[in-house]
Structure 1
Amino acid sequence: MTRMSLEEALARTPDIDRAKVEAATDEEILRHAREDGGDPNAAEGWLRIPLPREVRAALNLTQEEFAATIRVPVSTIRNWEQGRTSPEPAARTLLALIAADPAHALKLLGGRSSGRQGRPRRFA
């Protein structure tokens, strides 16, 4: 990581080849989606991954409460919501499951903001 002034940061051009992005065919886009672990055209198995902020807002939780509920540092929630980082695949799946059935997911996670950090329970 390097330090730079605001002017330097604004002067940087992104390393995105816009012509290549615009020239991508539907088939290439679908191939990339499959490579990233999903197929939006599949009859089943495709989960819409909601934005972390959407999930948290729907649950009416603060960042701190949401972080404790899903057992991640609050800085992780902040980074997701501010676009600094993206959730890893397992976290994206957890967000999709919470969004699909919030009451059941919260019950399984131990309540609104239990924050329990103990050992995970074993499944029979």
Structure 2
Amino acid sequence: MTNPDDAGLSDAALAILRPVTLAKRARVVAGLSQGTFADTYGIPIGTLRDWEQRRSEPDATAVAYLTAITNDPVAVAIAYRKSAA
């Protein structure tokens, strides 16, 4: 059964769609490329890629950090720069 809000996607097509990972959501909200996001927030680029491609999952601390970035990317970037100085 297809929902009209699904933009005409079949049930089979909808079944293979995956929700966006928290890491990618945080990066998209911040409006940054993977490299810039990794540099801005002090996350190793390989780790970020693994999280985005579901090769690994962020631990609880990383989830909290990504959630904070998603909620206010500018404030977290400023706080990170101050703590890194």
Q: Distance in 2 between matches of 1:104 and 1:120?
A: 14
- Higher mean displacement: 89-98 or 50-59: 50-59
> Which runs of 5 or more residues in structure 1 are unaligned?
1-49, 112-118
Q: CA deviation at 1:120?
A: 4.4
* Identity between Structure 1 and Structure 2 (%): 31
Q: CA deviation at 1:96?
A: 0.9
**Which residue of structure 2 lines up, in the alignment, with residue 80 of structure 1?**
51
Q: Distance in 1 between matches of 2:40 and 2:63?
A: 15
Please, which of 17, 27, 30 is the counterpart of residue 59 of structure 1? 30
Which structure's residues are more often helix, by fraction? 2
Q: Is the 2:22–2:67 contact (alpha carbons within 8 Å) kept by the matching residues of 1? A: no
Q: Distance in 2 between matches of 1:94 and 1:82?
A: 18
Please, which of 84, 92, 105 is the counterpart of residue 63 of structure 2? 92
**Bigger relative contact order, structure 1 or 2 (CA pairs below 8 A, ≥6 apart):** 2
Q: Distance in 2 between matches of 1:99 and 1:72?
A: 15
Which has more radius of gyration? 1
* Runs of 4+ displaced beyond 2 Å: none
Give the TM-score taking structure 2 as reference length: 0.66
Q: Is the 2:34–2:48 contact (alpha carbons within 8 Å) kept by the matching residues of 1? A: yes
Is it true that 1:104 corresponds to 2:47 in the alignment?
no
- 1:57–1:88 CA distance, 2 compared to 1 (3 A): same
Q: CA deviation at 1:103?
A: 2.0
CA RMSD, aligned part only? 2.2
Q: Is the 2:27–2:37 contact (alpha carbons within 8 Å) kept by the matching residues of 1? A: yes
